[in-house]
Amino acid sequence: MNKTVETAINEQIKHEMDSAYLYLSMAAYCESKNLSGFAHWMRKQFEEEMGHALRLYDFVIDRGGRVLLNAIEKPTADFGAPAEIFKKVLEHEQKVTGLINKLYELAVKESDYPTQVELHWFIKEQVEEEKSASSILEQVKMVGEHGPALHRMDRILARRGEQS
């Protein structure tokens, strides 16, 4: 495996784990605010981000590379009102999109075709992540910070991951 790309993927594994840890912190915060549906959504997001990290981990291993885990930082613990939370989610996902795009650019520069193919999945995933965060943010803005509509929104988010 190309060592430059391997190093960059190891760094992206760290970013995915940072993301997971951030979402778990957001879940804990939402629980503390009695927003169990929001907390459930964040825990599902945590699981998804851990899956992304493991997908990259396995990819490096499958290519004969070596995974070297980098330290993750302590996440923020306070996030504000629901609209502020999802504004931070959207901003975070946009940041991750930028990181994935830079990683893809590196894979192109290094002519690392297998990594380019693998990153197509992540690029598509980031489109979905940003769309989901943006949609929820707009809905939370519409329903406001209190009252029955926010309670209903909390119940909707609690259903994330249920079979249809």
CA proximity to 8, closest of 109, 89, 77, 76: 109
Would you state the structure tokens that stand for residue 52, as one six-digit string? 């992304």
- Top CATH class of 3-158 equals mainly alpha
pTM score, whole prediction: 0.92
- Distance spanning both ends of the chain, measured CA to CA: 41
The ranges assigned to domains in the chain are 3-158
Cβ-proximal residues to 108 (8 Å cutoff; 6+ apart), any chain: 116
From residue 91, how far is each of 123, 126, 128 by CA, in Å? 16, 12, 14
pLDDT digits (tens, 9 = 90+) for 33-71: 999 999 999 999 999 999 999 999 999 999 999 999 999
Residue 164 pLDDT greater than 70, yes or no: no
Chain segment 85-107, per-residue pLDDT in tens = 999 999 999 999 999 999 999 99
